[in-house]
Chain A
Amino acid sequence: MFLTPSMLGFAVFYMIPFVMGISQSLTNRTLGGRFTGLSNYSELLASGSFRKAAANTLLFTGVSVPLLLALSLSLALLINKGPFFRQGLQTALILPLVVPVASVVLVWQIFFDWNGTLNAWLYHGGHSRVDWLQSNGSMGVLVVLYLWKNLGYNLILFLAGLRQIPRDYYETARIEGAGRWHQFSRITLVYLTPTLFFVVLISIINSFKVFRETYLLAGDYPYDRIYMLQHYMNNMFAALEIQKLTAAATLMVLCISVLVMALLSVERRFRDVLD
């Protein structure tokens, strides 16, 4: 009874159309199409722009997520040591999370434009300038934007995870003569692992959302290196290529589901070991 409104809406707006979408991806036309099996999928996998987009997305996720994890974990450990103005520093680091992407595009433009500040610094340092948004450097720009935006989220989660580790574990370890590295690797990392699973998952999911930044900086058809799956799908939508779009979406759902399930089951096994 409590579930009814949500179930109805959820079914109407997500589940039923999604199943419709899957069946569309197996036909050749939107209305009254014939069943064509997996031909849309094989076409998709053979398409150059899809491959390019998939490779770029993987590359971006593969580079940015580890960086984000390392940076946010280090900062969380530092904050946990109790600096002066802890609250203020924490707020400043979290703040970008709530700042709408569209409202800082201007600043990014000033930095990364051909005539922008970054190039001015390069130039005055005696280097030649880089066309950040129209070269392989564009991937770097996106990584910076992603780090800026998502650092706060991971920070909050890591800090919460650190708070749950009982202090006396460290004291016992210290009495038994464990060094700092030992304490970090045997206590902090081990007890932070459940948090870590979730942070990894969310970081990967959020790395798929970087489309907003790319779109605002570079439009529908950005430089090759940052042409992501999301661009591909948006453009398929604009071109009303619903079959390819649904095929791509189905593949994406499969991949993400497999990823989530894998992370969840590894996590469960880890918890069993810990208990």
Chain B
Amino acid sequence: MKRSKLLPQIALTAILGFFALLMSVPLLLTFTNSLMTETEIGMNYGLIGQMTDVAAGGNTRFVNLKLLPDWLSFGQYREVLILNSKFLRMFWNSVGMVVPIIAGQTLVASLAAYAFAKLRFRGRDKLFLVYLLTMLMPFQVTLVPNYLVASTLGLMNKEAAIILPGVFGAFGVFMLRQFMAHIPGAYAEAAKMDGAGEWTVFRHIAIPLAKPGLAALAVLLFVDYWNMIEQPLLFLEDSFKQPLSLYLARIASEERGVGFAASVLYMTPMLLLFFYAESYFIQGVQMSGIKG
């Protein structure tokens, strides 16, 4: 590399590095603070939420933001994982809702996506537009239909009230259709010349070729539903049925001492998956951005 190019490139790296660091601060803090003892957390952050001396404005004590713990301790993890049964139960609650949604939506959506991408029928494009619009609606809009169905079918306060709408979510249909639209039509035609039916084409051509798309969809759905807050908040009253996200929401105020470790454990599956399947994830996001 020429010298004249080296300096700008170092500057470029430094600027981006600064932003990358800025973005990583919350994560870094969570990790390092999860290794503090509960006492140390209390000492550093005990002042949160205490509105002392507002009128006088005189209180000069502040939270003590600290990157590195004084003593390395796995006490928080011990408390969360072993001594307190809530965390693990809610962890499995989350798994128990997210896994059926991913499996169900991937299956249902791959069928529908094939129809939208490769079959011709009346009203196809209009129907697809309806799916697209539904996908774009914020949760508060689908809240109403979800609620009406759940109460009609007697699903309130049951996990099914969350799983079933998830299985039939529109996002998978949209994303996989984008993916399948890029499969060359010649493959299917060749197979049909050899006497293969639609089902065989779907099963032995479309699905194998769409595998990266299926993986990308699974990753994106996992990110989305592992993170869900509104649905369980409104549809699951019993706290023993609620997923981890809600436990974490409460821990911030009630059990701050173990909150960091719980947070780390909560985001770990996500981070592992992301590092393992980053290319699928990126591909998935890009796919949803390409219009067919």
| Residues of A that sit less than 8 Å from B by CB | 1-3, 5-7, 9-10, 12-18, 20-21, 75, 78-79, 81-85, 88-89, 91-111, 113-117, 119-120, 123, 128-129, 131, 148, 151, 153, 156-157, 160, 194-195, 198-199, 201-202, 205, 208-209, 211-212, 215-216, 229-230, 233-234, 237-238, 242, 245-246, 249, 252-253, 256-257, 260
Contacts and interface: CB of A to CB of B under 8 A. Distances in A.
A20 B143 contact: no
Given A117-B62, A211-B140, A129 B57 contact: yes
B234 interface: yes
Contacts, number: 278
A249 B143 contact: yes
Interface in B121-164: 121, 130-134, 136-149, 152, 164
Nearest to B124: A3
Given A17-B152, A98-B223, 18 more contacts: A13-B145, A17-B145, A100-B227, A100-B267, A101-B227, A102-B246, A103-B263, A105-B252, A106-B259, A109-B48, A115-B52, A148-B23, A202-B289, A209-B138, A230-B139, A249-B140, A256-B136, A256-B137
Contacts of A199: 289
B71 interface: no
B93 interface: no
A212 B202 contact: no
Contacts of A93: 16, 19-20, 23
**Chain B residues touching A, majority SS:** helix
Contacts of A151: 23
A9 B285 contact: no
A100 B266 contact: yes
A96 B19 CA distance: 12
Contact of A6 (B109, B152, B229, B273): B109
Contacts of B271: 95, 98-99
B19 to A, nearest CB: 6
A119 B286 contact: no
A44 to B, nearest CB: 14
The 7 closest A-B pairs by CB, nearest first: A9-B168, A17-B145, A6-B112, A102-B248, A120-B62, A92-B20, A103-B263
A115 B62 contact: yes
30 contacts: A1-B198, A6-B112, A6-B168, A15-B130, A17-B146, A17-B149, A21-B144, A78-B12, A81-B9, A83-B12, A83-B13, A98-B223, A98-B281, A100-B227, A100-B248, A100-B270, A102-B227, A102-B266, A109-B45, A113-B47, A114-B51, A115-B61, A116-B63, A198-B291, A202-B289, A208-B138, A216-B252, A242-B144, A245-B143, A256-B137
A100 B245 contact: yes
**Chain A residues touching B, majority SS:** helix
Nearest to A92: B20
B249 A78 contact: no
B39 interface: no
